[in-house]
């Protein structure tokens, strides 16, 4: 091997907002194989969890895989503690079925918050094959907007929305989408990626207009290869595994309320893990 | 000079030390402590060393059983270990997890009147003695000259196949999807039955033989089988197991608190959720219903008890005689206060307004006449429904092969159950040139030793193919 970098080495770390970091990880096999919609699973240390993250971008030439994550739990905070040059203990993928993207027509790609990073590769792939892309990127407020320039480059129209009206369109992504539809945008497909309530709201809206809608389900999982079944969800009355049947599903068929409930299964454990981490950090600070 | 061993006439097996049931059901330390040298010699002396060796016939890898037992009787424990490893690469594992009562020990002549020789315990003794006192395997014994072979999956079949191929001079790379090698030995079978240090040592021994392990590599996703051939692998062995969990399809299976045994055991074993300093979340449920009667069900039930449950039930639709688990596991589970509800089948899982499990509605069953497979099929007793209060349900009703490899490889045919189709005459050659398979990926969920046997067969077939 004449590799310049070590396996799973962090090539670049870019803070995007106080809570969100971008990391480019050296993983040439994954960079070569990955397609839009697929995800990786990482672990930072021996005692850490296996955490799935959808791939935000890849560069097969440099062997780099881009992930964007919010430092929201003990595991993602541990990842955020790492710096350029450090290596992740494990980085496995690409997992999941690649998104089925159309070859022509007009598509609305909708990202919500962190989901914008995952909606980005879909928009990029569609744009590259000549599909007209309207990218609607929703954020809570102006301060947490990221990748505006990057997103602009992979679509025909970028529409940034903020819930509080501090930047761009004042309102939710659903309102922006409905405005476009009413203004005559004849979408062949809507791709919605973000918090489950957002995907639920988008799917409810597009159902009214009869527009096919794909959502990306990030449910609780361990292995990501079909082994644990923890990620199961109900789609059109059938049990599906998000890791091997998805993560993309028909938004009009997903039982979102069940997903929201199941994703809360370990809330108490997660709170305890955060308390342990805070305690640990406090002890370190005192030393 | 041949030392004559005096036959031990005892009708019962020499007892083996175990942790007391009500101590061990609250810890994850190994249950069985194994024979001392004296106990092993005494038990070995029960072997009649009969001429036609029925026990060896009963072993899927034909371990030279009377020969290794005679060596134990003589006190030459290292030689006994070496004798076993002539045909079995993982004696420390098999001594612990094989269903001996259905294999070697079922054929033992001593079993006609009294108990058979404790072959499993003796195998384990020899392996443990070697681990503690024996010489480490020499490093890189064979010079890798015969070309590259890829082994997919690092479970029992993959390890057995890789070991034999490496010993035969092939350059072997084992690809594992998870971050730890061992397959079911690592993620499935709990620490109290098979310490992970033993699995790690077996894998280190293979590394010493020159086998390379590529972890976190999902064949079909990170690279396909076609990709492996492009990279210069001359043959591929698929030992990807049967990892996809089945559910019953009854109401309430997506409630919070319903798990597949795979999920529950993976959290506990692979992700070490039972150790407080690991971040893996696990809920320490109080009343747990485990559905199923196999070894995996026993493992899940006993793990739930160790995590602090007050009541753990095994709910199984047939009777005691039909329980597919090893006798020893059933015995141990009962000692550990697992409550067996046999001839009982769940019909619905009950939940509260927050979607959390509150109980399992079951129905009593009765056994009819034996069906084509010889098993008596259970039927519901109408109106016998009742509820078991529970805050967790663990489904342990079987697994099927993962579709990832068959759906990403041209020319690899499977049957209705998703199992890879192999040639009848050798049992390991698939429908795709240069691709061989064995273990649960071919048979559906079975045992460690059968998978190892298939891995060894495949190693031979690959050698014939590449010659």
Question: Counting every residue, how long is chain B?
Answer: 467
Predicted confidence (pLDDT) per residue in A58-108, tens digit? 999 999 999 999 998 888 999 999 999 999 999 999 999 999 999 999 999
Contact B256 A264 (CB under 8 A): yes
Chain B nearest-CA residue for A259: B254
* Tokens matching residue A7: 């396996």
pLDDT band at A287 (very low <50, low <70, confident <90, very high): low
Predicted confidence (pLDDT) per residue in B115-161, tens digit? 999 999 999 999 999 999 987 766 555 565 789 999 999 999 999 99
Q: Say if B143 is an interface residue toward chain A (CB within 8 Å).
A: no
In the predicted structure, residue B277 carries a pLDDT above the cut 90: no
SS3 A148: helix
Q: Say if B243 is an interface residue toward chain A (CB within 8 Å).
A: yes
For chain A, list the domains and their CATH numbers.
10-95 (2.40.30.10), 106-264 (3.40.50.80)
Shortest Cα–Cα distance, A184 to chain B (Å): 40
Calculate mean pLDDT across residues B33-38: 97
Contact B355 A91 (CB under 8 A): no
Contact B262 A30 (CB under 8 A): no
- B1 Cβ contact list (under 8 Å, min separation 6): none
pLDDT band at B29 (very low <50, low <70, confident <90, very high): very high
* Tokens matching residue B404: 């990832």
pLDDT band at B1 (very low <50, low <70, confident <90, very high): very low
Chain A CB contacts of B266 below 8 Å: 222-223, 227-228
Q: Say if A260 is an interface residue toward chain B (CB within 8 Å).
A: no
pLDDT band at B369 (very low <50, low <70, confident <90, very high): confident
Determine the Cα angle at B112 with ends B109 and B118, to 5°. Answer: 60
Chain B CB contacts of A232 below 8 Å: 247, 254
Q: Which ipTM did the prediction report?
A: 0.92
Give me the half-sphere count of Cα atoms (radius 13 Å) on the Cβ side of residue A75: 22
Shortest Cα–Cα distance, B461 to chain A (Å): 29
What is the residue-wise DSSP string for B203-243? HHHHHHTT-EEE-S--BTTTB-HHHHHHTT-SEEEE-----
pLDDT band at A1 (very low <50, low <70, confident <90, very high): very low
Q: What percent of chain B has pLDDT over 90?
A: 84
Which range (B75-79, B216-220, B414-418) has the least confidence? B414-418
Residue-level pLDDT at A79: 96
Predicted confidence (pLDDT) per residue in A269-279, tens digit? 888 888 887 88
Rounded distance between C-alpha atoms, residue A91 and residue A11, angstroms: 14
Of B187, B221, B249, Cβ closest to residue A95: B221
Chain A nearest-CA residue for B281: A269
Contact A227 B223 (CB under 8 A): no
């Amino acid at each position: 091997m004449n590799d310049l970098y070590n396996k799973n080495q962090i090539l670049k770390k870019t803070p995007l907002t106080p809570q969100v970091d971008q990391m480019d990880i050296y993983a040439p096999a994954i960079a070569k194989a990955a397609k839009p919609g697929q995800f990786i699973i990482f672990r930072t240390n021996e005692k850490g969890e296996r955490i799935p993250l959808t791939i935000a971008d890849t560069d097969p030439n440099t062997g780099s895989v881009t992930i964007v994550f919010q430092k929201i739990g003990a595991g993602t905070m541990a990842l955020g503690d790492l710096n350029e040059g450090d290596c992740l203990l494990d980085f496995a993928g690409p997992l999941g079925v690649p998104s089925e993207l159309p070859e022509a027509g007009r598509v609305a790609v909708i990202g919500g918050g962190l989901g914008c990073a995952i909606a980005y590769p879909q928009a990029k792939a569609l744009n590259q094959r000549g599909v007209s892309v309207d990218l609607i990127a929703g954020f809570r407020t102006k301060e947490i907007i990221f990748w505006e320039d990057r997103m602009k480059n992979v679509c025909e129209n970028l529409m940034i929305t903020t819930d509080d009206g501090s930047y761009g369109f004042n309102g939710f992504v659903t309102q922006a989408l409905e405005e476009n539809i009413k203004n005559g945008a004849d979408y062949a497909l809507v791709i919605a990626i973000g918090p489950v309530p957002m995907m639920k709201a988008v799917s409810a809206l597009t159902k009214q207009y009869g527009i096919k809608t794909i959502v990306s389900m990030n449910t609780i999982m361990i292995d990501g290869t079909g082994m644990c079944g923890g990620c199961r969800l109900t789609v059109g009355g059938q049990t599906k595994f998000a890791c091997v049947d998805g993560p993309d599903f028909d938004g009009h068929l997903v039982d979102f309320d069940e997903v929201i409930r199941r994703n809360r299964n370990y809330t108490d454990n997660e709170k305890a893990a955060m308390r342990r981490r805070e305690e640990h950090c406090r002890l370190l600070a005192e030393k | 000079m041949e030392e004559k061993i005096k036959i031990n006439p005892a009708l019962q097996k020499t007892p083996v030390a175990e942790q007391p049931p009500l101590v061990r059901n609250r810890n994850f330390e190994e249950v069985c402590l194994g024979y001392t040298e004296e106990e092993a010699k005494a038990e070995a002396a029960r072997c009649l060393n009969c001429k036609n060796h029925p026990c060896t016939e009963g072993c899927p890898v034909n371990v030279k059983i009377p020969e290794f037992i005679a060596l134990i009787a003589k006190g030459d424990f290292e030689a006994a270990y070496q004798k076993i490893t002539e045909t079995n690469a993982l004696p420390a594992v098999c001594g612990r997890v094989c269903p001996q009562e259905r294999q070697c020990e079922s054929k033992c002549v001593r079993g006609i009147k009294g108990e058979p020789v404790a072959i499993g315990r003796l195998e384990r003794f020899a392996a443990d003695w070697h681990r503690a006192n024996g010489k480490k395997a020499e490093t890189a014994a064979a010079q890798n000259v015969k070309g590259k072979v890829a082994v997919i999956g690092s479970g029992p079949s993959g390890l057995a196949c890789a070991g034999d191929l490496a010993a035969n001079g092939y350059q072997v790379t084992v690809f594992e999807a998870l971050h730890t090698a061992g397959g079911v030995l690592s993620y499935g079978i709990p620490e109290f039955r098979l310490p992970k240090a033993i699995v790690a040592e077996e894998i280190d021994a293979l590394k010493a033989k020159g086998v390379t392990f590529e972890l976190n590599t999902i064949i079909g996703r990170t690279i396909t089988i076609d990709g492996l051939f492009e990279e210069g692998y001359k043959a591929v062995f698929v030992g990807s197991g049967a990892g996809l969990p089945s559910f019953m399809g009854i109401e309430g299976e997506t409630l919070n608190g319903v798990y597949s045994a795979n999920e529950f055991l993976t959290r506990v074993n692979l992700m070490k959720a039972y150790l407080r300093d690991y971040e893996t979340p696990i809920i320490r449920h109080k009343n747990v219903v485990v559905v199923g009667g196999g070894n995996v069900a026993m493992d899940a039930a006993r793990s739930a008890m160790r995590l602090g449950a007050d009541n753990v039930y095994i709910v199984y639709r047939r009777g005691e005689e039909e329980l597919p688990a090893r006798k020893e596991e059933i015995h141990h589970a009962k000692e550990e206060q697992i409550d067996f509800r046999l001839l009982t089948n769940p019909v619905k899982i009950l939940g509260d307004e927050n979607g959390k499990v509150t109980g399992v509605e079951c129905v009593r069953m009765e056994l009819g006449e034996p069906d084509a497979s010889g098993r008596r099929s259970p039927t519901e007793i109408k109106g016998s429904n009742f509820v078991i209060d529970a805050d967790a349900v663990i489904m342990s009703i079987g697994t099927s092969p993962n579709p990832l490899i068959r759906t990403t490889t041209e020319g690899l045919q499977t049957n209705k159950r998703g199992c890879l189709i192999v040639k009848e005459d050798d049992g390991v050659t698939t429908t795709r040139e240069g691709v061989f398979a064995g273990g649960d990926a071919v048979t559906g969920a079975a045992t460690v030793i059968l998978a190892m046997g298939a891995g060894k067969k495949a190693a031979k077939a690959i050698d014939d193919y590449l010659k």
